[in-house]
A and B are shown apart, each in its own frame.
Chain A
Amino acid sequence: MDPILFLIFAAIAVLCGINVVLQTHPISSALSLVGVMASLAVLYLLLGAQFLAAAQVIVYAGAIMVLFIFVIMLLNTGRERRTRGSFLGRLLGPPLLVILLGSVTFVILRTAPRDAGVRFGTYTGGTVESFGRALFTTYLWPFEIASILVLIAIVGAVALAYKEID
């Protein structure tokens, strides 16, 4: 059962990812990205990260991507036009990407652990309770700093966009 689920949702993720890159209209790219995130959420569930799966859908797909879509609609630039672009990027980009993918895959296949594998239900450490316990005891200090970071981001965003209103 697990492999089939994995394959389905992995395929969806990859296809949506390719779509993000290939689509010309930003809205299409954004929606494809939402698809990627949703499938990733399912994969997190398979890996036993319940809280993260929920957080992925709520925060990432639900908040961040919504923000993206708002901005795209606000700016309303339409399809991308073809422009000159970087010669270097066009020259070196594809080969480098191939090399990147190849080398990372090579490293993974050589060094990935070969034992058990992933089976749904074998790991129950990703519950809200255990997650919260770790977050508020061991990782309290980063948690507080992260909240300050979010506060700064809010203030910054408001400050930048404030003039927009008038």
Chain B
Amino acid sequence: MQHLWIIPALPLLGFLIDGLAGRRLPKTAIHAVAAGTVALSFLWVLKTVIALQPLQTAHVERYFDWIRVGEFRIGFDLAADRLTAVMLLVVTGVGLLIHVYSIGYMAHEGGYYRFFAYLNLFMFFMLTLVLAANFLLMFVGWEGVGLCSYLLIGFWFRRKSATNAANKAFIVNRIGDFGFSLALFLIFLNFKSLDFGAVFNGLAGWRADTGMGTLTIIGLLLLVGATGKSAQLPLYVWLPDAMEGPTPVSALIHAATMVTAGVYMIARAAPLYLKAPIAMDWVAGIGLATAFFAATIGMVQTDIKRVFAYSTVSQLGYMFLGVGTGAFGAGIFHLVTHAFFKALLFLGAGSVIHALAGEQDMRRMGGLRTKTPVTFWTMLAAAAAISALPFTSGFYSKDEILVSAFHRSPVLFWIGIVTAAMTAFYVFRAIFLVFFGTCRGEAHAHESPPVMTLPLIVLAVLSLGGGAFQVSKWLRPMFPETASPENPMLLAASVGAACGGVLVAWVLYWWRPALPDIVAARLKWLYVAAVNKYKVDEIYGAVVVRPLVAVSREVLWKGIDVEVIDGAVNGTGRRALGLGGLLRLAQSGNIRSYATWVLLGAVSLLIALGVLGGVR
């Protein structure tokens, strides 16, 4: 018994303390509690992972029955296997770094205790999601992180744009959750249980689907849930808007942890997906399409956080591509490396914004290389990693995915290569715009305090050296081999694409700064379409949102609620009144009319009993 429950319980404790008593606590106490509980949780994770070595099979701990209805039993069960261990380390480790960073970033913000309370609550739900041993408990965590995302995106709730973004995130997530719920129903219907062990053992008796079998439908529905949570096509629209939240939130939730829940879920359901090849193809296809699509938008954005938001969407697409082509280990490996460098990019962007007193438009930045050196070097490391330059962590993880894609179909590989080039281009574009050249904006920028730069340095080290972790090799016992021998040609193509992207960025933004505008003018309609995000939000608004609101208002509210339901209720009251009024007329107070009624009754009785009762 490793007492796995301590891992999520510690942040929950932090949430309760900060949430209930935070108003009266001093700032040091608040962040000490918040970061402290996450640190302790991280240490407990380390202890558990070491103690459970070599962790060949899943270590399950059942605590108590949550639901028991007839045969249906859902327990509060936590399980740890290698996949869980990887996720736990990432969530608690990166989470800890971001908590520390937030101490500095949020120092001057109001609602300090509320922020840390929500962060801790998020950690609790995320850890529950990862540790869950059955689908329903995972869904609890799934929903919980959605809730915390809503709370944190709308943290500055007095801003209308922030609350709108929070609503959008929650609602779009909900659509995905609907798909997830349907999948849960189907799973229970077919396997009589929602427990991972029971379901995956039950799969042994099923043959792999060739067409649209039950397993494929379940897989597709789970994919719907994953697209919502992990911001893939077509449910990605909430993630760019989610940048309204504070930057640490963007780093933690919308880069490193929550959005990866979809990838984790698909990896967890690997036994099911391996028997539903059509569903897996859909996963890979959607992932690749999203990666390409988001990268095109990210290339032309001017807000630094937006660039990284679309980058997250794109990189998540890579992870989906990885798990969709059978390389579950590689997908998770990219999840880990992405957590490192994307969190670093966001935290670095936060540092930049903090240095420039709130400026987020890259066109008004520049020349920060000398003024904020630590931020510059760490972000450079992250940019190298995300571009998959050789020997960075991103290099290993992305390369594995691309190789696996090639073995599924070369087309996937080449589109992935183009996307990699675009990735390198947009991230170095951002670097050049922000750190090089002359300062186009505020003059007096300053470096961030150590409490913010220290996490940046740690993450930079991880981004560069994270390849040493060999995550996918460690996860190999869990997932069957997808024989993908290393092909030096593919490797060369990948490296070439990355360098090409960096080169183009260098040309356009450092060597010949006038070029971008000329290029944009030449490819005018393409450029404008990308800048406007292909008007996807507007399309959704017109096609989905507006008709829905109109129907709700006219039909459901005015039609049914007011006319039918209120009418029925009020009508019943009115008719009762009317009936009472009629009956009242019998009470005339006149003795003789009473006597007549008595006589009437007596005669009726007489006739009924006597004449009709048998007297003939």
Contacts and interface: CB of A to CB of B under 8 A. Distances in A.
Interface of A: 85-89, 92-93, 96-97, 99-100, 103-104, 106-107, 110-111
Contacts of B610: 103, 106-107
Contacts of A97: 599
Nearest to B607: A103
Contacts of A99: 603, 607
B615 interface: yes
B590 A86 contact: yes
A86 B615 contact: no
Interface in B595-616: 595-597, 599-600, 602-603, 606-607, 610-611, 615-616
6 contacts: A86-B590, A88-B588, A88-B593, A89-B592, A100-B606, A111-B615
A146 to B, nearest CB: 26
Contacts of B607: 99, 103
Given A86-B593, A89-B593, A92-B596, A103 B611 contact: yes
Interface string B327-366: 0000000000000000000000000000000000000000
Q: Which of B588, B590, B616 has the most chain A CB atoms inside 10 A of its CB? A: B590
Given A96-B599, A99-B607, A103-B603, A110 B592 contact: no
B609 to A, nearest CB: 9
Interface of B: 588, 590, 592-593, 595-597, 599-600, 602-603, 606-607, 610-611, 615-616
Classify the secondary structure of B's interface with A.
helix
A134 B599 CA distance: 35
A96 B611 contact: no
A interface, over-half SS: helix
B615 A85 contact: no
Given A85-B592, A86-B588, 15 more contacts: A86-B592, A86-B593, A88-B597, A89-B593, A92-B596, A92-B599, A93-B599, A96-B603, A97-B599, A100-B603, A103-B603, A103-B607, A104-B606, A107-B615, A110-B616
Contacts of A89: 590, 592-593, 595-596
Contacts of B602: 100
Contacts of B590: 86, 89
Nearest to A98: B603
Contacts of B596: 86, 88-89, 92-93, 96
Given A86-B592, A86-B593, A88-B593, A100 B599 contact: yes
A9 to B, nearest CB: 27
B596 to A, nearest CB: 5
B600 A96 contact: yes
B615 A110 contact: yes
Q: Which 10 A-B pairs have the closest CB atoms?
A: A86-B593, A86-B592, A88-B593, A89-B592, A107-B610, A89-B596, A86-B590, A110-B615, A100-B603, A96-B599
Contacts of B616: 110
B125 to A, nearest CB: 75
A111 B606 CA distance: 14
A59 B590 CA distance: 33
Nearest to A91: B596
A104 B590 CA distance: 27
Nearest to A99: B603
A107 B615 CA distance: 7
A48 B610 CA distance: 29
B613 to A, nearest CB: 10
Contacts of B592: 85-86, 89
A87 B585 CA distance: 12
Nearest to B602: A100
